[in-house]
Homo-oligomer: A and B are copies of this chain.
């Protein structure tokens, strides 16, 4: 079996964007740099995992790409609802956990999947997990994503935003892990506009995120702000381990465990029945972890 031209193009794109994004994040770091681990998957393909740990701005950042292929396991075929057979999957996945609770955690992911039956699709998304109530930042983030999506596929943002609100919900708590963003899946791999969308979304990462980092990274914060960040990171863990399809796909497709779990926050706390003080920024922030139209209010 051969991987398609679309697959190879996607692979080239994400390798280039991995470099670009790592450079953009390293600009905030006087000393720490991304370290790369290259891994091979026994059944075919592998990945380039890049991690920056213990930075001045970023406590843990991972910008990973993987490109795997081979025969599907029965379990994987069942999850994807396709026939067993040869498949190829490649994607870029990034998660940034800053030190400061004033700077949000961000996640972005794009992926392409194809089977030897000729089925292929793109997926992707980005979502922001802030720990401090700066509605101005949240609106800006959504505006950048809106412009990005709608420029490639008119009016697409609204649907992707609603899908994101649903996807990143921690169902047992009826709350989102953050303030949303965009999420799309099963976009036909044969349509050029979908490849363009994926490219534009990844290219929007630095413009969507770095202005917020720049604005907030040197702000002071309190001990409660920090505890709240660690508690909300606990919710991030709950979501990723219980609901995230990307994590489950990684575990089921024989991906590299350390690369899959780079998304988990570095320091996390689980408190019993923690409640915010009345009138505190934390109480305000908690009210924002629900679907909301950040652009029109």
A residues with a Cβ closer than 8 A to B are: 37, 51, 53, 60, 62, 172-173, 234, 237-238, 241-242, 251, 257-258, 261-262, 264-273
A241 touches B251 (CB 8 A): no
Q: How far is the CA of A247 from the CA of B59 in the complex (A)?
A: 30
**Which one of A258, A265, A270 has the highest number of Cβ atoms from chain B below 10 Å of its Cβ?**
A270
B273 touches A37 (CB 8 A): yes
Instruction: Report chain B residues within 8 Å CB of A268.
Output: 234, 237, 267-270
Instruction: Report chain B residues within 8 Å CB of A267.
Output: 267-269
B272 touches A62 (CB 8 A): yes
Binding site secondary structure of chain A: mixed
In the A-B complex, the 9 residue pairs with the closest CB atoms: A264-B270, A241-B241, A268-B268, A258-B273, A51-B272, A172-B251, A241-B242, A262-B272, A267-B269
Q: How far is the CA of A268 from the CA of B237 in the complex (A)?
A: 11
B266 touches A266 (CB 8 A): no
**Nearest neighbor of A241 in chain B, beta-carbon distance:** B241
Q: How far is the CA of A173 from the CA of B237 in the complex (A)?
A: 17
Q: Which of B53, B257, B266, B272 contacts A60 (CB 8 A)?
A: B272
Copies of this chain in its oligomeric complex: 2
Q: How far is the CB of A62 from chain B (nearest CB, A)?
A: 7
**Nearest neighbor of A247 in chain B, beta-carbon distance:** B242
Q: Can you name 26 A-B residue pairings with CB atoms under 8 Å?
A: A37-B273, A51-B272, A53-B272, A172-B251, A172-B257, A173-B257, A234-B264, A234-B268, A237-B237, A237-B241, A237-B270, A238-B241, A238-B261, A241-B241, A241-B242, A242-B242, A258-B272, A258-B273, A262-B272, A266-B270, A266-B271, A267-B267, A267-B268, A267-B269, A268-B268, A268-B270
Q: Can you add 13 more A-B contacts, CB < 8 Å, to A172-B251, A237-B241, A266-B269? A: A51-B273, A53-B271, A53-B272, A62-B272, A172-B257, A237-B237, A237-B268, A238-B241, A238-B261, A241-B241, A265-B270, A267-B268, A268-B270
**Nearest neighbor of A270 in chain B, beta-carbon distance:** B264
Q: How far is the CA of A108 from the CA of B267 in the complex (A)?
A: 26
**Nearest neighbor of A52 in chain B, beta-carbon distance:** B272
